[in-house]
Amino acid sequence: MKLSSWYGRVLGLALAATALLVQAEDPNAIRRNLASLSNDAQADWLDKAYHDATLTHMSGPELDAVLASTRWEAWLSMLRRNDRAAPEYETLMLRQERMGKTLPSEPERMLVRYRHSPRAVYARWLDGGPRSGQEVIYDEKVDAGSMLAHLGGLLGAVSTRNAIDGMIARAQSRHTVRHLGFAFILDEFQKDYDLLKANGKPTDPVERKVVGEGAKRMIEFRFVTPGQPTYYASDSRLTVDLAQPLIRVTESRDAKGEVFERIVFERIEHKKLAANTFSPENPEYRF
């Protein structure tokens, strides 16, 4: 490439970048520019905006313009991309799930260690809840259909292997141990999106807004569907971190508007897990 051509290309890119920076101060320009992009291009823009901290430095009106002009499909694509890019992680979550007619008044606190592929999950119920001390390990390399588990307290002396969707597991949750990760949450939102689109119904959230203040600002999406059993929930809320492309809260409501599931992710740490994380021989565990 000739020097003049190279210089011209660099200068063009620099001018384009400068133009975007100038436009970023104008919510109307943000709205026009983002709305003109394809879903894939919007997902790329959001991905870059997260990784170079553009979103965290935006004013309220600028963020409102981003939310007004980006489609849910782009957000979902970006979130799934970043989830797949983190092969292993550890989370601390507060979890409430309605079993029967009543949602527990207090959430259970859980430590979860997760590996995407091959799928493996370790979970421990922490102090303060009715299942305090309970542990489960699942590793699809060992047995894709079962998990090793023990109860908390004195009953925790005995570990047993149980079907992940058997009576014992279903008595405690509508989900299997395989669902204790971000992939399941995003999969369910993807399924609802695909169903809404196939049935000719609106696919974007009915509400999207910035919640919190300062460094704790997050983005909340709200979705309304025709409801169960076809869709996961009649009314769903998903709260996404503004500083990182991570889910912080997910909440699901039935046709009466009553919450049947809520998960709050207190801490999320992407890291290489220890080699014995999914082994019952790990001395940290009580198997």
* Segment 266-285 mean pLDDT: 97
pTM: 0.87
Confidence band of 272 (pLDDT split at 50, 70, 90): very high
Asked if the model's pLDDT at residue 2 lies above 50, the reply is no
210-262, pLDDT tens digit by residue?
999 887 899 999 999 999 999 999 999 999 999 999 999 999 999 999 999 99
| Residue 67: its H or E element | helix 60-69
Domains of the chain listed by start with CATH number: 3-70 (no CATH), 84-270 (2.50.20)
pLDDT band at 9 (very low <50, low <70, confident <90, very high): very low
Q: Please determine, for residue 48, whether its predicted confidence score (pLDDT) is greater than 70.
A: yes
Beta strand 108-115 pairing with 218-224:
unpaired
CA distance 111 to 88: 14
What is the pLDDT at residue 25?
65
Which tokens sit at 181?
Answer: 């990760």
Tell me the average pLDDT across 158-177. 91
